[in-house]
Structure 1
Amino acid sequence: MTNQAQPQPPALAAATTMFVEVLVVGIGTLTAAVLLLIALIGPATTAKLAPVANSSATAGIGLAAAYALGILIDRAADTALTPHRRRLRTHFFPTAAVYAQARLRLADFPDLTARADYTRSRMRICRGWLFNTIALTLTADLAMLRYSFEHRPLTLGATTVLGAATAFGFYRAWRSLTTTGYRKLAEQTAPATTPPAPVPSQPDTASP
């Protein structure tokens, strides 16, 4: 008797995707937090604490912290960008009620819903990493200021410029994905308009 792989339930797939999204964002946030800690405690204390980072307990705590921080930064990024997102939405949906009705109509098409969910997943990652990049750039600069090494001004300048360019890239990607998602939703849920059927001509029965 052969065992066939069962398809993953939609709810489980959505939960798994959300977990991965939060973790991907949270890893960047945790890295920024570690860089900030290094900047605060300095090189000597960092060297003393370095062996602790190799333990399995630290890895488990780090994974849990990354997930928790991912939730935090995702909510913070969503709150900060909500006004801008709503302005983009009004280009395609005049009111929130019209947008909600379009989302409900889209639920009748599973294939289109899956594509929209994938677009929103990429949008959330870009949104989170926009703020992660800013935090990483600032904390990396602070950490490098605590260490003495060759060409430090050049390294600081390059890190800042690269961080600013990357953050702008994430913003542009988030804006493009958000706008495209609204546009496709408006196109896919627009009511179909069909031309009226031609009225057949009636024979002229009038008497001469």
Structure 2
Amino acid sequence: MSQLNKPEASGVVAATAMFVEVLVIGVGALAGVFGCVAAVAGYANMRRIATVLSSAPASAVGLSAAYALGIIFDRAADHLLTSPRRRLRRRYFSTNSSYDEARKAILEFPHLVAMSDYARSRMRICRGWLLDCLLLTFAASLLIWRFPVQDRLSLFIAVIVLGGLCATGFYLCWRSITETGYKKLAQQASHVAAGVPSQGGGVAANA
């Protein structure tokens, strides 16, 4: 492959990865929104439209809706976590300019950029699913109270506990990936400045 084709191929891979990330987040968001709508509509109404919802056109609409919701939830999660992200960044970069300079310093090393992209991908999915878990927990709680189920109270408590644990887990994963990324970026930039580029680690940069 020629040098001229590499940037284009890299761009295609990055765009594909972004599409998958947004869709993964959007699937959870769509499930949560659908659960809330189903709870409002009620059990009887949902039984009447079950056949329509399982049709091919409905699946196509659902896929499009999942992607759109994924974009919204990704941006919402990014906004929600702005403050903790900035606090983590300040541990390794005193100013925004020093952070920007560090990011520019590794651009000449494709293996570091690739690791950076992989870290950002995991970070986005974790932060998006943090919101997904909260919405899914709320939706499941509504469904339990609105639909005819046995052991309603036990199920309600189980859903709240499980949803809280999952949301906490995704937050901790996001925090760990983000902090590790900033730490490694600072180390890599330092090595590049010294003429000895680092060989490991990813970058959980602002996305």
TM-superposition CA deviations, 1:129-157 (whole Å, max 9, x none):
00000000011000110022221111110
* Structure-2 residue corresponding to 1:88: 88
Question: Within 1, Cα distance between the matches of 2:155 and 2:144?
Answer: 9
* Structure-2 residue corresponding to 1:138: 138
Percent identity (aligned)? 47
Residue 48 (structure 1) shift = 0.5
Question: Within 2, Cα distance between the matches of 1:66 and 1:74?
Answer: 12
Question: Within 2, Cα distance between the matches of 1:21 and 1:75?
Answer: 12
4+ aligned runs moved over 3 Å, structure 1: none
* Structure-1 residue corresponding to 2:194: 192
- 5+ unaligned residues in a row in structure 2: which ranges? 197-207
Question: Within 2, Cα distance between the matches of 1:70 and 1:91?
Answer: 30
Q: 1:193 to 1:64 in 2, by over 3 A?
A: closer
Question: Within 2, Cα distance between the matches of 1:83 and 1:58?
Answer: 39
Letter in 2 for 1:180: T
Q: TM-score, normalised by structure 2?
A: 0.88
The yes-or-no answer on 1:54 pairing with 2:54 is yes
Which SS does the other structure have where 1:9 is aligned?
Answer: helix
Letter in 2 for 1:102: A
* Structure-2 residue corresponding to 1:122: 122
* Structure-1 residue corresponding to 2:34: 34
Which SS does the other structure have where 2:81 is aligned?
Answer: helix
Residue 193 (structure 1) shift = 8.4
State the superposition RMSD in angstroms.
1.5
Q: 1:115 to 1:193 in 2, by over 3 A?
A: closer
* Structure-1 residue corresponding to 2:12: 12
TM-superposition CA deviations, 1:101-131 (whole Å, max 9, x none):
1110110110011001100100000000000
Alignment of 1:133-172 (within 5 A): 133-172=133-172
- Larger gyration radius, structure 1 or structure 2: 1
Question: Within 2, Cα distance between the matches of 1:180 and 1:106?
Answer: 16
Question: Within 1, Cα distance between the matches of 2:80 and 2:69?
Answer: 16
Letter in 2 for 1:172: L
* Structure-2 residue corresponding to 1:67: 67
Q: TM-score, normalised by structure 1?
A: 0.88
Residue 172 (structure 1) shift = 0.2
Question: Within 2, Cα distance between the matches of 1:44 and 1:88?
Answer: 49
* Structure-1 residue corresponding to 2:111: 111
Which SS does the other structure have where 1:149 is aligned?
Answer: coil
Letter in 1 for 2:165: A
